[in-house]
Structure 1
Amino acid sequence: MAKGDDAVRKKQNKVKRKKLHNKNDRSSSAISARVASIIAAKKRRHSGKRRKCQGMCFSLPTLDDPFNDRNGAKDFEKKATKKPMVSHKHENVILKEKSKEILDTEMVDGPAQKKEMVTVLKDELKKSLASINTMAHRSRIDPGNTKIQLDGNGGIYGHQGKVCENLDCPSKYLIQCLNAIENSLRCDGTYDNEEDKPLFVSTWGVEFWKCYSAGKDILETSGTSSKMEQIAWMVSCTADSVSRKDEEGLSVTSPFLLFLVPSQEKATKIRSVCKPLKALGIHTVSIHPGASLDHQIEGLKSSEPEIMISTPERLLELLSLKAIDLSGVSLLVIDGLESFYSEGCLDKINSIRQSISGKTHTVVFNDCHRYACVRVVQNLLTGSVRRLSLNSSLTSQSACIIQSVNMCLSKEKLPKAIGVLDQAYRGRHQPQASKVLYMVGKDDKYRKLATTLKFKGYSVTSDLVFTEVENSVVMKGRTRPAVSMIDIDQIGATDFSEYECVVLPDLTLSIDSYVQILTRMARYSVNGVLHSFFAREDAKLAAPLIKILEQCGQAVPEALRKMSSS
C-alpha cells in the first residue's frame, strides 16, 4: 500500500528532529562535560563511594597530619640552588659605586663613549658579583672559618676575616663601617665632602689603607688637621683590626687607637664620627679637661674602649695616676702639630710616645713647618715612612726636609762639600748598603772631586759620567757609603726618592731644577737634608731661593738677604 504525502512528510520531519536533537545534544555535552564530572565526583564524595582508581587515594591519619587534612599529600621541599645569592647590601654598594661612575662619565663623554662605558661597567659589575658569590659559597662550604658575633643590639660584631680576606681591596667589614659613618653624617647634615662621593672610594683613604696594611708610619703633609673622610678611614681600619683580633681569640683590653687632639672641640668632632661604630661593637671614649678627672677615671674602670680621643694634658694626668694602660696601643694619631707647638705641648707628646710600649704605627698630621716641629716628627717617626697628601704644593712635598744654604767663596765650595759628606757619614752609625748620598756635578772639575772622594775612601758611582770608579771601597774593615754623581742634564730622569742627603756643590742649575730635587728626595724618610753652596757669583738666584725658603718655613741666612737686596 502506497504511503500518502502526509506520512512521508511526517517521517522526514522526524528524521530532521532527530538530527537536530543529536547536534544539540553533542554541543551541550561538550560544554557541560567538565561541569558534569565535577558534580558527579562531588556526589560520590558526599555518598562515601569512590571509583577504583580513587580508592587508592585513601590514606590514614599520621602524627604529622592527625586530622588527615592533607589526605596523605607530602610537603615538597624546594631544592636549594647551588648558586648563593648576594645580599642586597653588598649589591647596593656596588651598584651605587658603578652608577656614580656612569653619571660622571655621562658628564664628560659623548653618547658613543657613554654607551661603551655602560657596557664595560656592566661587565665589571657581573665580575664583582661573581667574586662575592664565590666567597659566599666558600663560606657555606667551610663554616668553621666563619665567625660572626652579635652584640646586644643585634649588630654584627666581627666579620669573615679568614674567608673574605683579600689583600687587593679592603674587607667587607671595613666598607660596612665606612657606610655606617657616611649614613650617620648624611642624616646629621655634617657630610662635607665637596665631590659628594662615597667614603669607600676616597683616594686618600685607599692609600692610607695600603700603608696601614703594610705596617708603615704615615706623614700627612697637606698642611691641615685631619678631615672627616680621613678620620672615618682611620677609625674604620681600627675597627677592622679589632674585629680580626676577636676572630683570632685575642681580646683588646686597652685602647687600640689613641687619637691626640689639641682641644675639646676637636675631640667632640672625632667622637661624632666614631659614634656609628658603637652598633658594630667599637666603643669610643673622649678624655679632655671639660669633665672632672674623677668622673673620667670611674668611666675608664667600667669600660674597655677600643678608641680613645684625648688631649695631652689630661692623658698625662691619667698616666701619672696609673688610671689607664697604653701598652696595647697599636695606632697613634697626632692631629695638628701647629696647635701643639703654640700651646707648648710638644714635650708632652714625646712623653706620651715613650710611655707606649711595643710596636706602634704612628700617623702625624703635619700642619707646622717650623724647624722645632721637624725635630719632633723625626723623633716620632723612626722607621720607614710613607708620605700622604691631599695636594701637591711645594710646601706639602718638601715637608720635613731641611734646606741648608752655605755661604762661601767659589774656591771653598768643593772642600766644604766634602766636609758635608764626612759629617753626614759620621752621623750614620750603620751605613746602609744602598746609596745614601747624592752629588750633582758637571764639567771636568768634578773629576777632581771624584778622585778626592775615592782617595778618602768613598765609593763613587755613576752610570753616566764616572763609570770607571768601582762601586764599593772597604777601608779599615768598614764600607763607606756610595756617593752618586750625575750630570745636571740628567736630573729629570733620576729617582731621588731613596736619598736622604743631597749635596749641590755648585748652584749652576736653575731654580726649577732645585725645586724638582727638593720635592722628589727623601720620600720614605723624615730625615732629608738638601745642602747647597752659594757664592757671590750665584746672586741672580738669591731672590727666588729666599722665596722658597720662606715658603717652606726654613731659616734664611742674613748674608743671602743682603746679597739679594744689593
Structure 2
Amino acid sequence: MAKGDDAIRRKKNKSNRKRMRSSESAVSARVSAIIASKRRRKAGKRRICEGMCYSLPTPDDPFNDHHGKKEPEKKKKKKSKGIPGEKQNEKNMVIVDGGILVDQNGPSKFLIVCLNAIKDAWREEGEAEVRDITSWGLYLWTCCCYGFTNVLETSGPCATREQVAWLVSSVSDIVARKEKQGILVPSPCLLYIVPTQERAVQVRSICKPLKALGIHAVSLHPGASIQHQLHGLKSCEPEFLVSTPGRLLELVSLKAVDISSVSFLVIDGLGIGSGEEIRYAEKLNSIKETITSSPHIVVFSDHCDQMAALADNLLGDPITRLSLNDSAISRSVFISQHVHYCQSQELKITKIQEIILQTLRDDCRHKMLVVMKRENKNGLASSGLYWEDCSITNTSSKGSFSLHNREKIMRVVVKDEESLQLDKVENFEMVLLANFPSSVEEYVGILTRIACHSATGALHSLFCQEDAHLAKRLVNLLSECKQAVPQFLLDFDS
C-alpha cells in the first residue's frame, strides 16, 4: 500500500530536525564561540596578547618576538647506543707496528676465514685429519701482529702444514687490516725461504686457497725455467713469495723481483739440503742485506749446531722462542751444554774463575749468571780474580762484579741457589751452576729456561764425585740434545 503525502512529509521533517540538531549552525554565534574556545583549551592552544601590556622588550629580545617567553632549550641528542660492545671494541683497539689497529682480544674474523679456507681445501683433497695448534697459532699471531720480536721455532727441522697455515693466515690478516685502513702494502709482503724445490711446492699448495680471498702466492725454484718464472712475475704482483735461496738471488740480480720492502721474512728448514753450510749462509745473509726494511723474521729449525751462528746473526736480539712440544730437546736448540769435572768443593772457586775467563776470551756475551751457595757468593769476587790483563770493578756486597779484559767487558751476576727464581734465568744467555742440581729434572728446568730471548746460549755446570748417581741420565740427555759427552761422565756411567 502506497504511502500518502502526509507520511512522506513527516518523515522528511524528522530528518531535517535531526540534521539541524547535529550541526553547529543549530546554535547561535555566541554559543559556537564558547564551544570553539573550549575545544582550543582542551587542545592546549591558547591565544595570548601580543601587546606591550603583556610583556616588555628585553636586550635579548628587543622586538618582543618571543612575547616575554624564554627561548626553549634545545633538546640534548641522545647518544646512539650503536652496535652492542662497540665501545668496548674501541677500547680494545691499539695501534701497533706499521700504524695498524689491532684488537687486543684476539685475531679478526678474516684470519679465521683464511684458516677455514685452507682446512676446507685439505678436506676436499681427502686429508680430513687436522692437528689443533690454536694456542701455538695465537702466540705466533701475537708475535707477527705486534712485531715486537723475531721468532725462533724449534719444534722440528721444518714447519708442519698447520704451522704454515697459521703463519700465512696471520700475515694475510695483517695485510687485510692495512688495506682496510688505507696503508700501502708492499708487494711481496711475505718472503718464504725454503731449502728445496719439493718444499716450495708444498708451501705454495697451502697458500693456494687464499687466492680466492685476494692473497696471491708464487713459488720460485729450479724445477721451472727462469723465463717462465720471469713471465709469471710480470703478469702479477704476488703478496707471498715462496722461493729457494739460489733461484731468488738469480731473479733479484735480473731485477725481476724487488724484495727490498718485504715485511715478513720466513726461513723454513734452516740448514736442510744446503750442502755446503758456508755457501748457504752467504746466500741467506745476501737475501737479508737486500731487504732494506726491517722485516719481522721467523726461523724454523731444530738441532743443527753448524747453523747456530747463522741463526744468531739473522734473528738478532731479543727474540721469542716457540715450540709445539715441551721436550728438553726442542726447547734447548742452539744452547750449548758444558759439564766440567771438579775434584773437590775447595777447588770450585778456582774452576769457576777459569770458566769465566775462558768465556770472556772466546764469547762475545756481556752478561753471565753464576749460581752458587750463599756462603761462597762474596768469596768469588774477593778471591783475587786476575789473569793477564783482566781486572775487577764495581764489586758489591751481593757478589756481583764487572770483569775487564782489554777491550772486552762482561758483567758477572752472582745469585745464591736457595733464593734462585727460574723466571729470572730467562734474561741470561750464559748460566754457570757451581753445584750440579739434585736431579736431572731440575737441571732440565734451568736448561729450558735460559736464553728465552736469544737464539744461542750456554749452560755450564760443575760435576763432582757426589753427583755420580746422575751420570747415566745426564749422558742420555746430552746425547739426545746432540751435545758433546765428556769422558769423565762416560767413566762414571760405566
CA drift at 1:372 = 0.8
Kept in 1, the 8 Å contact 2:217–2:240? The answer is yes
Find out whether 1:221 has 2:127 as its counterpart.
no
Kept in 2, the 8 Å contact 1:341–1:373? The answer is no
Distance 2:128 2:275 in 1: 30
Tell me the residue number matched to 1:418.
353
Task: Look up the SS of the partner of 1:271 in the other structure.
Answer: helix
Kept in 2, the 8 Å contact 1:405–1:531? The answer is yes
Identify the match of residue 365 of structure 1 among 300, 304, 308: 300
The share of aligned pairs that are identical, in percent, is 41
Distance 1:134 1:510 in 2: 49
CA drift at 1:421 = 2.8
CA drift at 1:472 = 7.0
Distance 1:494 1:430 in 2: 20
Runs of 4+ in 1 over 6 A off after TM superposition: 82-85, 132-136, 426-430, 470-480
Tell me the residue number matched to 1:168.
105
Find out whether 1:556 has 2:485 as its counterpart.
yes
Q: Letter of the 2:444 partner, please give it.
A: V
Task: Give runs of aligned pairs for residues 257-296 of structure 1, distance below 5 A.
Answer: 257-296=190-229
Find out whether 1:178 has 2:115 as its counterpart.
yes
Relative distance call for 1:213 and 1:424 in structure 2 (3 A) is: farther
Task: Look up the SS of the partner of 1:383 in the other structure.
Answer: coil
Identify the match of residue 210 of structure 1 among 139, 142, 160: 142
Kept in 2, the 8 Å contact 1:253–1:304? The answer is no
Distance 1:239 1:360 in 2: 15
Relative distance call for 1:483 and 1:259 in structure 2 (3 A) is: same
Distance 1:546 1:430 in 2: 27
Tell me the residue number matched to 1:484.
414
Q: Letter of the 1:395 partner, please give it.
A: I
CA drift at 1:210 = 1.1
TM-score for the superposition, normalised by structure 1: 0.62
Find out whether 1:451 has 2:396 as its counterpart.
no
Tell me the residue number matched to 1:438.
369
Kept in 1, the 8 Å contact 2:270–2:307? The answer is yes
Distance 1:338 1:262 in 2: 8
Identify the match of residue 515 of structure 1 among 441, 444, 448: 444
Distance 1:348 1:548 in 2: 34
Task: Look up the SS of the partner of 1:520 in the other structure.
Answer: coil
Kept in 1, the 8 Å contact 2:89–2:103? The answer is no
Tell me the residue number matched to 2:471.
542
Identify the match of residue 381 of structure 1 among 292, 315, 327: 315
Identify the match of residue 242 of structure 1 among 159, 162, 175: 175
Distance 2:87 2:377 in 1: 64
CA drift at 1:548 = 1.4
Task: Give runs of aligned pairs for residues 194-209 of structure 1, distance below 5 A.
Answer: 194=131, 202-209=134-141
Relative distance call for 1:316 and 1:518 in structure 2 (3 A) is: same
Identify the match of residue 188 of structure 2 among 255, 266, 273: 255
Relative distance call for 1:499 and 1:430 in structure 2 (3 A) is: closer
Tell me the residue number matched to 1:505.
434
Relative distance call for 1:270 and 1:544 in structure 2 (3 A) is: same
CA drift at 1:276 = 2.0
TM-score for the superposition, normalised by structure 2: 0.70
Task: Look up the SS of the partner of 1:323 in the other structure.
Answer: coil
Relative to total residues, which structure has the larger helix share, 1 or 2?
A: 1
- Higher relative contact order (Cα pairs below 8 Å, separated by 6+ residues): 2
Kept in 1, the 8 Å contact 2:374–2:416? The answer is no
Gaps of 5+ in 1: 1-81, 86-129, 137-160, 462-467
Task: Look up the SS of the partner of 1:237 in the other structure.
Answer: helix
Kept in 2, the 8 Å contact 1:458–1:483? The answer is no
Distance 2:491 2:200 in 1: 47
Distance 1:189 1:459 in 2: 66
Identify the match of residue 340 of structure 2 among 389, 406, 413: 406
CA drift at 1:547 = 1.4
Task: Look up the SS of the partner of 1:522 in the other structure.
Answer: coil
Kept in 1, the 8 Å contact 2:422–2:446? The answer is no
Tell me the residue number matched to 1:154.
none
Relative distance call for 1:563 and 1:244 in structure 2 (3 A) is: same
Distance 1:472 1:173 in 2: 52
CA drift at 1:508 = 6.3
CA drift at 1:259 = 1.0
CA drift at 1:401 = 0.9
Kept in 2, the 8 Å contact 1:507–1:538? The answer is yes
Task: Look up the SS of the partner of 1:438 in the other structure.
Answer: strand
Kept in 2, the 8 Å contact 1:459–1:470? The answer is no
Distance 1:402 1:306 in 2: 38
CA drift at 1:425 = 5.1
CA drift at 1:404 = 1.9
CA drift at 1:327 = 0.4
CA drift at 1:536 = 5.5
Relative distance call for 1:237 and 1:450 in structure 2 (3 A) is: same
Task: Look up the SS of the partner of 2:425 in the other structure.
Answer: coil
Gaps of 5+ in 2: 1-79, 91-98
Kept in 2, the 8 Å contact 1:205–1:230? The answer is yes
Measured against aligned partners, the alpha-carbon deviations of 1:106-142 in whole angstroms (never above 9, x if no partner) come to xxxxxxxxxxxxxxxxxxxxxxxx3369879xxxxxx
Relative distance call for 1:354 and 1:562 in structure 2 (3 A) is: farther
CA drift at 1:252 = 3.7
Measured against aligned partners, the alpha-carbon deviations of 1:238-297 in whole angstroms (never above 9, x if no partner) come to 222223333454444531111111223322222222122212221110111111011111
Aligned residues: 398
Distance 2:440 2:381 in 1: 25
Q: Letter of the 1:485 partner, please give it.
A: K
CA drift at 1:525 = 1.1
Tell me the residue number matched to 2:14.
none
Distance 1:349 1:505 in 2: 39
Distance 1:356 1:477 in 2: 32
Find out whether 1:299 has 2:232 as its counterpart.
yes
Q: Letter of the 2:256 partner, please give it.
A: A
